[in-house]
Amino acid sequence: SVPSIPVPVLQLQLPSSPPTAAAQQLDKLLDDLGHTQSKFAAGRQGAQEPEETEPKPSLDNMLGSLTQDLQELGITATPTSVCATCHKPIAGKVLTALGRTWHPEHFTCARCGQELGAQPFFERDGRPYCEDDYHQAFAPRCAYCAGPIREKVLTALDQTRHPEHFFCANCGKVFGDDGFLVWGGKPYCRQDFLAMFAPKCQGCERPVTGSYLSALRGVWHPECFVCTDCLSGFGSGSFFELEGRPYCEQHFHQRQGSICHGCGRPVTGRCITAAGRKYHPEHFTCTYCLRPLHKGTVRERGSKLYCQACHDKLFL
């Protein structure tokens, strides 16, 4: 079948009393136009035959010729619409978009030239774009994958990202309700941030996130700052340090070897050393008579000390 060429749609503004002769000439022009259309269609049907020597009339030339002839007859012919791209009258199908009219084949993407037709399009500065080109040209870019963000945009750390591309820099998990923490310009989940960057308790070596004590060149959970040996807290507020660890007075002196062998309490002032042990002066007494001992008269028996007289009486 041979496609038909649509006859240009014209709005004719006729004089109030057109002359009969002019009307007859108009009818003749329309008949000539139809005859020309038939000849043009026949020429297309015989496209396999040798080329004709005479050029085929174009629709634009036909339309221009008809308009000129009508004007000579005193009849003003105004096209129904003009294409926004080629600025020529539109004969046949008209596409209306962006407040203007277009030949359907002239309504194309301003970037790639693809015909938009009935597919969705985007507008920018009065120009139409296909979906792909619009996003490539104007959509914000994801800081992680550098691709255009077509739907939801997540903005954080002065960057835009796809929501699924905003995750912990260490474990890669997308952030949930706990949010995120920043170190060195990178986002981290709370668990990884604390494990990697929070100060550690000197007692339990876990991250310190709440209240803390600062002592012995480090930080401590309050419940972890206790005597290393008996695990008792320091109610008086004072403690003793030995090799970087805190001790109560009793266990500090015990480790130092400064416990009175007589009473079992720390020796903090004057002390007497005898038989490799330390004593408060008042506790350096004879085991039997409990009288104070004098170094020159001390006798030892079974890790106990005796004065000379008691030793001789008991063991000689």
67-100 tens-digit pLDDT: 566 666 665 555 568 998 898 888 778 888 888 8
- At 82, which amino acid appears? V
Length of the chain: 316
- Please give the domain boundaries of the chain with CATH numbers for all domains: 81-138 (2.10.110.10), 270-315 (2.10.110.10)
State the pLDDT at residue 259.
Answer: 86
Q: What is the mean pLDDT of each run of 10 residues along the chain (316 residues)?
A: 40 44 56 53 47 54 62 59 87 84 88 84 88 88 89 89 92 88 92 91 91 91 94 87 90 85 85 83 88 83 87 85
State the pLDDT at residue 33.
Answer: 54
State the pLDDT at residue 14.
Answer: 40
The Cα-based distances of 163 to 27, 144, 149, 239, 243 in angstroms read 68, 11, 10, 52, 51
State the pLDDT at residue 150.
Answer: 85
State the pLDDT at residue 172.
Answer: 92
- For 166-221, write each residue's pLDDT tens digit: 999 999 999 987 889 999 999 999 999 999 999 999 999 999 988 999 999 899 99
Dihedral Cα 88, 94, 99, 105, nearest 10 deg: -70
Spatial distance between the Cα atoms of 92 and 9, rounded to a whole number of angstroms: 7
Tell me, rounded to whole angstroms, the distance of Cα 120 from its chain centroid: 29
The answer to whether 124 touches 114, Cβ cutoff 8 Å, is: no
Tell me, rounded to whole angstroms, the distance of Cα 184 from its chain centroid: 15
State the pLDDT at residue 28.
Answer: 63
Q: What are phi and psi of 197, to 5 degrees?
A: -125, -20
What angle in degrees, to the nearest 10, is found between the helix axes of 20-45 and 59-72?
170
CA-wise closest residue to 242 among 229, 231, 261: 229
Spatial distance between the Cα atoms of 271 and 279, rounded to a whole number of angstroms: 5
Cα angle 21, 25, 28 (rounded to 5 degrees) comes to 140
Spatial distance between the Cα atoms of 259 and 292, rounded to a whole number of angstroms: 19
Mention every residue, 6+ apart, whose C-beta is less than 8 A from residue 98.
84, 123, 126, 128
Spatial distance between the Cα atoms of 132 and 66, rounded to a whole number of angstroms: 43
Three-state SS at 309? helix
State the pLDDT at residue 50.
Answer: 46
- As to burial, measured by CB atoms within 10 angstroms (0-12 exposed, 13-18 middle, 19+ buried), residue 88 is middle
Three-state SS at 55? coil
- As to burial, measured by CB atoms within 10 angstroms (0-12 exposed, 13-18 middle, 19+ buried), residue 271 is middle
- At 37, which amino acid appears? Q
Ranges of H-type helices in the chain? 20-45, 59-72, 131-138, 190-197, 249-256, 308-315
